[in-house]
A and B are shown apart, each in its own frame.
Chain A
Amino acid sequence: MRKFVGVFASSLLLGASSVSAACGIEAGSVRILSNDFAALGTVIDEARECAADGVTVSANLTTEHKSLQVPALTVDPSRYSVAMVANNSLVPLLNEGLVRPLDDLVAEYGDQLEDRQLVRIGGEIVAIAFMVNAQHLYLRQDLLEEAGIDAPTSYEGILEAARTLKESGVSDTPLGAADAAGWDLAAEFVNMHLGMGGDFFEQGSAAPALANETGLRTLEMMKALTEFMAPGYMTVSADELKNQYVSGNVAMMNEWGSMVDGIVGAAASDRQIAEATTLAAAPTVGGGGIPAAALWWDGFVIADNISDEDAAASFQVMMHAIRPEVAQDNPQAAAWLISGFDAPESARGMLATAEAGARPYPMTPYMGLMHDTLGVELVQFMQGTESAEQALADVEAAYSAAAREAGYLN
């Protein structure tokens, strides 16, 4: 509704033809490829305002964007001039060299950008970030108080608290995690492993470096947590985890900050649970000093295989779409990384995670292959039919086969 009013007001103030003047573009074709979720929809609606005589703005929001982006940007001229990416989906585009360096455009049109929004690789600006996301703790303060425990700040503390909650009969399944086989499970491993201070690869090469003490401790902790979860934990996706929590079945979870809206605040589905929920930084683990959660950003890149005119138009349209007012008008839509954004209460879990020094999700070219492998090969260990050593050996073997095929290993 607010967005609607905003659009209405701006068109009233500026009038139809001067909108493009607001974007500062005379001509160009802007074609956006994007994932399909609400916050990106907000940005793209803003981008569409720039459409005018000689300026076309079209967008394709699709959940299949990851499969489409590489072929769509490979052709010349690219099917899309702008691709919305996150730190994982940027990598395949970089690997194929499909991303335009943005230094000139930023210098010319990017006054509004803060330095932290610029994603630089080897000194070149390749992407502009405008939102962040991370997993962090959601705690049911009422249940913790009922069992007489303080809010835990580490996974070891969470295990202890979960045992107390279960033994005192406050909650049968005090814990929840997005352990669904596939992407979610792998993301949990990445979080925990980063929290343990672990690495995924040998420095400077694509060779895996997981089968070691840190990897084993990561897996042990993941498995230990499942003892306090509902039995079908291998099918619980991030969305399902939120449902478990808002139905009152889970007392503590490490869940995405982007899910916060349905859990606390005005849009919460259960008032009592919303009021009893506290948000905190993701827990530390294994005595490590940083939260066990990877930090993610969402942003955009400009395609390499397009004309300079379209590139300039696309960049300017995106600058209009992520101008500071957009963040101020939609504070609940996302944790904006836009200057002047005053983060609401609901974003404090995520901000606390970032401030406590959590590591970003790795952008190495072969991290995606590792992630895909983890999602498949850890399953048997998590179900208790395989040892941790075997699981890690399987991960390394499967990853190496994939990496050889993709040309990263010989």
Chain B
Amino acid sequence: MNLLLIVLFPFFGFMINGFMQLRSLKTGHKISSKQSGSIATFAMVLSFITAIYYFIQFSGQQEDGRLIEQNLFSWIKLGAFHVDFSLRLDSLSLLFTMIITGVGSLIHLYSIGYMKEDETPAKYFSYLNLFCFMMLNLVLGATMPHIFLGWEGVGLASYLLIGYWNQDTAKVGAGQKAFVMNRIGDLGFLIAMFIAYKYVGSLDLVDLQKATLSPKIASVVGLLVFFACTGKSAQIPLFTWLPDAMAGPTPVSALIHAATMVTSGIYLLTRISPLLLQAPDVLSVIAMVGVTTAFVSAVIACAQKDIKKILAYSTVSQLGFMFLACGVGAFDAGVFHVMTHAFFKALMFLGAGSVIHALHEEQNIFKMGGLSRKLPITTFTFVMGWAAILGLPPFSGFFSKDEIIIQSLHSQYGNQILFIMALASALLTAFYMTRLLVLVFFSPSRMEKETEEHAHESPLVMTLPLIALAILSLVGGFMHHSEGGHEEGQSIMIASVVVALIGAAFAFFRYRKFDKEEMTNQFVEKGLGIDVFYNKFFGNGVPLLAKGLSKWIEEYFIQNSMKFCTWMVEFSGSVLKSFQVGSMQVYLLMMVVFGLAFMIWILESVMQGVIFYGK
């Protein structure tokens, strides 16, 4: 077996589908989603099987034996700077690989049904495979530049897929927004890489983990990496792209913007966790940003009407929880929540996709209702996801989320503020998820007659992944051994379940008999004006700054210094020109004058003893 296989299968899928798409552009021959989708899904399944092989191999080994490294070729070689293109598999990357290939396979399968009516499914599936290829590079790369390659690659794939329906300029704009926001974060990644190289002398992750840096350097590197993560993982201040990214096809939202890509920030932080532990200040910043994001986006989610937007803000909120876990030093809990979240959030996105599919692209939850009779499987699986995100035992979210909430209080870096905000976010999460669930599936129908009649359960290719993910959401929590169990941990668990139930009950009784559209606060619904602020501040500020620079720096400073240079040349030329009169006798006079001056200088030197002449 070869580690490269995991990465190469999606790459081949990407190539095959890409070439098929190019050929169909030339010949006009249409490719069905079944053809291209089965190739892409097959590639992912093969990759998943390879990952399972390694999982079995690892589970038979001791903790410290779980490492496979494979050096492929020398990638960058510039004098003393040397980067190998090598893959490294350890427990952490194996977990992420399993999530990417496993959940990825299910979502590929689901896409076959979802993209049935699409014009260019080969293009879609090639992008999806490209994304998986890049994401696997991200988690398997052994060096920072390799991770950066994957980091940029998933950003590209995400951009392509958000703007997949490129006839609609708003969707293309959403893709551009995601790309630009990510680029801002990438700047942090790059600078962190440069600084790390300067002080560690290597970009290999193992060397970075072993390095001991001064607290100041560790803080700078940690903060810059965290800034990069706020871009990719949609945290304050760069989170605004994720809700807009819902413009892409729903399976894309499930795979990229819920299960995998947005969790790469957690992966990166966990990878360099030894560095972060050297800088406790950065940890507290991460925890604060994480919990604030969790709370703020949960508030915004409560006022959304679009089913996908709710799930998007919910994702941001859950990512905030993961960052909170990283920030209190409980990286394990964060990664565990990545896994469970991948299961239940992918499930909910796919469920939402199933609903949208059934209702012909209707996304407003106030124009749904009573779908539990029409879509029984979707409803059932969605309820499982709902229970998991609420953290009801024994669903997976219960284990991971409560672990984070416990750690936010009991960890070495935890404190009451983090704990209370985490609990408040959990309450809001329960509220908005129950609101979504009740309004879509259980309240009286508010649909138009025609849509209601056409609503039907999705085909098997779409319900199968739903069922698989529902099972995973149910049992996913038992894959991890919690160290909790002490008394206080138990009381916190009970408290958080009670809080979730209170939120759920409140939403349930409020929306059970809802039959009109809710008047939500426009300010909250539009994302607390953060987008407006960015538009006003950066959208107008940067051109203003540029204008100012062009006026003051360009016009006055650069142009004038250039003018000064030309003036200097002109002036010295005009001075020197006066010596070149073209008359031999003037030259002779000058020769005599300077010759005399030289002789006087020599004589003077001899007299003062500077030059010794003779004996």
- Tell whether A pairs with B: no
Chain A interfacial positions (CB closer than 8 Å to B) = none
